[in-house]
Structure 1
Amino acid sequence: MTPFLTMNVKAVFDAYPPEVRRKMLVLREAIFTVAASQGAGQLEETLKWGEPAYITAETGHGSTVRLAWKKSHPTQYAMYFICTTNLVEAFRTLFPHQFKYEGNRAIVFQETEDVDMDSLSICIAAALTYHRNKGRKRP
């Protein structure tokens, strides 16, 4: 079961356009589902840079996953990863045609597109277990 939104995170989601909000809440649910299925442990939902962010509560276990929508690109929303990891580089190698990428920090989605949730789940799992699995072949 996906936890209820905290008031401050809910306020951010509520500020998004309705269709983007709906799609981003699907991504949020996927993050919690993947965390449970991968044994990533309890997730902490917080705001980083004013955007919903998810990190494993167990220190040194996973890498932060952040969701964002920007007014400057109103038809896009994104899932961000820490840019000092090799996560996005690995995703680009594994899924060269499934996603659009922004540098070494994000997977960018168009509001009108269907997201390949099977592939995205692999990306989420890699992030949430990043430190635990560091040194192992990923994702």
Structure 2
Amino acid sequence: MKPAFASPEIEAAFAVSDPLAREGLLRLRQLIFETAAETPEAGRVEEVLRWGQPSYVTPETGTGSTLRLGVPKGARFALFVHCQSRLIPEFALAFPAWDRFEGTRAVLFNDPEDVEPLRHGWLIKRALTYKIRAPLDIPA
């Protein structure tokens, strides 16, 4: 079941000109809501706009780090995380050589088929529980 958009402004943020980018963004959005439903410790996930991008926060529990969806310069679409978090380095350690990254702030995609529930759902769950879980041991 596809969740309704939180507002017309958020729905409009998905109206990108590239149909593959739109499809990919919508797949990521669906995966965020599905993962949140399977992660009760995160509590309710709220869809808001941050910097003009659809963003996903955990307002009631405060357990998460914000996730954002958008269209970067170097790819069709992306899943953004807080750049000062450990999320992208942990993801790269857990799934080496599987993705393209933009520094420590995003996983980049060119094809909606590249969105995989297992590995990208892992990243989403780690973001939704970022403030209540132990970090991975990442070598310096």
TM-score, normalisation: structure 2:
0.87
What is the number of equivalent residue pairs in this alignment?
135
Structure 1: give runs of 5+ residues left out of the alignment.
Answer: none
Query: Cα deviation per residue 1:39-92 (whole Å; 9 max; x = unaligned)?
Result: 12111111111011001122431010000014x44x521000001111111011
Residues 1:28 and 1:16: Cα distance change in structure 2 (over 3 Å): farther
Equivalent position amino acid for 1:83 in 2: C
Judged with a 3 Å threshold, the aligned counterparts in structure 2 of structure 1 residues 100 and 127 are, in CA distance, closer, same or farther, namely: same
Give 1:83's aligned residue. Answer: 83
Which is further off, 34-43 or 1-10?
1-10
Aligned residue number for residue 24 of structure 2 = 23
Q: Distance in 1 between matches of 2:112 and 2:34?
A: 23
Q: CA deviation at 1:16?
A: 4.0
Q: Could you say which residue in structure 2 is the equivalent of 1:126?
A: 126
RMSD: 1.9
| More displaced stretch, 112-121 vs 90-99 | 112-121
Structure whose residues are more often strand by fraction: 1
Residue 42 of structure 1 corresponds to which residue in structure 2? 44
C-alpha distance in structure 1 between counterparts of 2:64 and 2:118, whole Å: 20
User: Distance between the aligned counterparts of 1:112 and 1:63, measured in 2?
Assistant: 24
CA distance in 2, matches of 1:14, 1:121: 24
CA distance in 2, matches of 1:85, 1:137: 10
The residue number in structure 2 matching 1:104 is 104
For normalisation by structure 1, the TM-score amounts to 0.87
Cα distance, 1:138 vs structure 2: 4.2
Using the alignment, how far apart are the partners of 2:60 and 2:125 within structure 1?
A: 15
Q: Hey, what does 1:57 align to over in structure 2?
A: 59
Distance 2:16 2:109 in 1: 18
Conserved in 1, the CA contact under 8 Å of 2:24 and 2:112? no
Aligned mates of 2:112, 2:23 — CA distance in 1 = 12
For structure 1, which segment, 92-101 or 46-55, has the greater mean C-alpha deviation from structure 2 after superposition?
A: 92-101
